[in-house]
Amino acid sequence: MIYIVTPCSRPENLETISESIPSQCKWIVLHEPHISIPKIHNINSIVCPKTGFVGADGRNYFINNFNLKDDDWIYSLDDDNIIHPDLIPNILELLDMDISIIHWGQLNKNQTIRLHPEIAIDKIDAACFISKWKYNKYIKYNTIKYNYDGLYAIECANNGPVVKLNMYLCYYNYLRN
């Protein structure tokens, strides 16, 4: 199963995001108690104590409290973004492989390249990779540093086989003006 994990502080974006969520995935929206989440058919809403700085605490809450299987995959999607329409078709056949992480490049909303496919600090975004639970169940997101996504991706890459896709399969802040 692919779990799309979205720490939420902008519930007004959830309806638009929901339209991009593939049916093969389970969408988990993590939010603090004071945030009201709209009723949308494909949202699995989970209240957590805090989503924290750039959502890292929320992602860790999911990792610590959700019952995952070794063949499950975790994908992070911010609440100001959508799923690129080509993502799932390009990774689906790879998900049965025994690998730790799959990564790709990122586009701006206007389709210009923001990040090339690379696992390095400040050169990868949370939306640029998917990680397999089997290899990465003990990794936590850094809750202090802004570049937590790069730190997390590096740890995943160090835990097992890596597949790099020379493609651009995600956006950066797609729902921001």
Asked whether residue 176 is domain-assigned, the answer is: no
Q: Pick from 173, 177, 121, 175: which is nearest to 149 by CA?
A: 121
Q: Residue 36 carries which DSSP code? A: P
* Contact (Cβ atoms closer than 8 angstroms) between residue 73 and residue 136: no
Asked whether residue 50 is domain-assigned, the answer is: yes
Averaged over 52-81, what is the pLDDT? 94
Q: Does the pLDDT value for residue 177 go beyond 80?
A: no
Per-residue pLDDT band for 22 (boundaries 50, 70, 90) equals very high
Letter string b/e over residues 137-153, b meaning 16 or more CB atoms within 10 A of that residue's CB:
eebbbbbeeebbbbbbb
Query: Number of structural domains, the chain?
Result: 1
Q: Residue 33 carries which DSSP code? A: T
pLDDT, tens digit (0-9, with 9 covering 90-100), for 137-167: 999 988 777 788 999 999 999 999 999 999 9
Asked whether residue 9 is domain-assigned, the answer is: yes
How many residues are present in the chain?
177
Asked whether residue 162 is domain-assigned, the answer is: yes
Asked whether residue 53 is domain-assigned, the answer is: yes
The CATH number covering residue 72 comes to 3.90.550.10
Which structural domain range is residue 157 located in? 2-171
Per-residue pLDDT band for 108 (boundaries 50, 70, 90) equals very high
